Structure 1
Amino acid sequence: MNTEEYIDTLPKKAARLRADGTYTVLPMMHHGKLDANRLSLISRVVADNSLPGIRITAGQQVLIDGVPADRLKSVIEALGEVGLAYKHKAQGCLGTDGCKLGQQNSRAAAERLSELLDTYDMPCKVKAGVSGCPMCCAESMARDVGLYGKKGGWTVSFGGNAGKRVRCGDILGENLSEDEAFELIAKALSFYAENAKKKERTARFVERVGLDALKSAVLTAD
């Protein structure tokens, strides 16, 4: 089995070839969290293999750089869990866990949202941002699915995008309980999954079908 065949057996984005012929390796993390044992293991693997070091990605991940092809398998085996923990990205800020402005538990909600996203067969990648307050440090309004907290509850947005064609997400509900927010998100995701074109992001989907159609589908009482 050659190197590329080996990479194909790994979880998503576990290892990628760089322009200089070396590889990056992504140790598995959950929403930017590492305990002491995991942190020590990553440091030891980097030191034992004389690697350049690590860097923090925009997606709250630790990335090991400069892994030679002949060390790739041994590095991955030493790390154990590699690749993305979830198929779709849900970024969460500190929220009430560590920010004085936090009004809702954004970390717990981001974990729950990641699990929800993985239950859908999406036509395209979906990014989510969960912020503990309206400051939206997790860029909630520029994500496919957005949640931000206020004292009265959660605000849900849908159809945001931070790419070349920036789009602010549309507000679907405000002052919702967590369960209410997730019920609304589930309806929006179902409507998107069932009606979007292949590789059509939520921003372009909402522009195509119209906000009225989205609201009619998700806000109509069961």
Structure 2
Amino acid sequence: MEKQEKMKIAINGGIGFGAKLNAKQLVAISKYMEEDEELELTTFQQLYVEVPADKEKEVIEEFTKVGLACYPVGNFVKSLRTCNFCKGEEAEGMPVAKELNRRIAGKPVPVTLKAAYTGCAVGCGEPMLSDIGVMKNRDRFNLYVGGKAKGKDAEVGSLLLENLSSEELYEAVEKIIAGYAETGKKRETFYKYTKRVGLPYLIK
């Protein structure tokens, strides 16, 4: 019997009040797992699931119906890492996080790019340690770039722009990612890209 070809997709419960999955979502995921198979939980707040390659579209539709968000695996912008939005949807800017994620997640880039968002200065979403980080400050947004969480040369991101409106934020982040996708070298991480290009030139 010919072995069925499988492919890996990344899923999570979408952006909400904490990283959670409900019973319907767990049942949907379990349909595509063997009894002794394990799920891989990534640092991007995603689960990797292997599904039949010839049923990718069908599976994604099924997952989407139960509220799961699906993303490609590999050198793409990962889904937005967020805080738990502890003070409510409007106060913590969840609509902005959802819209930013919609605009950037899944875009192809030279090397996997991690973006993070936090609704206040506490920074639970770890924006300062991400390639691109957003920190909400009252009703405006500060944008950080070039954070690096791993290695001996780990460092916090640099403040690139501050006091942005939501639309200014979307425009700036999309421009930065487009520039990286177009001019980043093969296997060049975003951290190295920011060092090579220089902060002032990331959005020009």
Counterpart secondary structure, 2:176: helix
Kindly name which structure, 1 or 2, has the bigger radius of gyration based on alpha carbons. 1
How far did residue 128 of structure 1 move? 0.5
Contact 1:91–1:110 under 8 Å retained in 2: no
Contact 2:160–2:199 under 8 Å retained in 1: no
Partner of 2:44: 59
The yes-or-no answer on 1:116 pairing with 2:103 is: yes
Partner of 2:81: 91
Question: 1:1-222 maps to which residues of 2 (within 5 A)?
Answer: 3=3, 6-7=5-6, 10=7, 13-14=8-9, 29-31=13-15, 32-42=19-29, 50-51=35-36, 56-62=41-47, 80-81=59-60, 84-86=70-72, 87-89=76-78, 90-95=80-85, 99-100=86-87, 103-106=91-94, 108-118=95-105, 120-164=107-151, 165-214=153-202, 217-218=203-204
How far did residue 104 of structure 1 move? 2.7
List runs of 5+ in structure 2 lacking aligned partners.
64-68
CA distances 1:151-205 after superposition (whole Å, capped 9, x unpaired): 1411111222212232322212222221111111122222322322112112111
Counterpart secondary structure, 2:71: coil
Contact 1:110–1:129 under 8 Å retained in 2: no
Q: Over the residues paired in the alignment, what is the CA RMSD in angstroms?
A: 3.5
**For the structure 1 residues 27 and 149, does the alpha-carbon distance in structure 2 shift closer, same or farther, using more than 3 Å as the test?**
closer
Identity of aligned residues (%): 28
CA distance in 2 between counterparts of 1:51 and 1:141 reads 38
CA distances 1:53-110 after superposition (whole Å, capped 9, x unpaired): 767543223467xx9xxxx86xx99x93479525421211222xxx03984324x334
List runs of 5+ in structure 1 lacking aligned partners.
15-25
Contact 1:192–1:205 under 8 Å retained in 2: yes
Contact 2:114–2:131 under 8 Å retained in 1: yes
How far did residue 34 of structure 1 move? 3.3
**For the structure 1 residues 55 and 171, does the alpha-carbon distance in structure 2 shift closer, same or farther, using more than 3 Å as the test?**
same
Partner of 1:23: none
**For the structure 1 residues 154 and 88, does the alpha-carbon distance in structure 2 shift closer, same or farther, using more than 3 Å as the test?**
same
**For the structure 1 residues 204 and 52, does the alpha-carbon distance in structure 2 shift closer, same or farther, using more than 3 Å as the test?**
closer
TM-score, length-scaled by structure 1: 0.65
Partner of 1:22: none
How far did residue 2 of structure 1 move? 5.4
How far did residue 147 of structure 1 move? 0.7
TM-score, length-scaled by structure 2: 0.70
Counterpart of 1:167, as a letter, is: E
Counterpart of 1:80, as a letter, is: V
Q: Determine which structure has greater relative contact order: mean sequence separation of CA pairs < 8 Å that are 6+ residues apart, divided by chain length.
A: 2
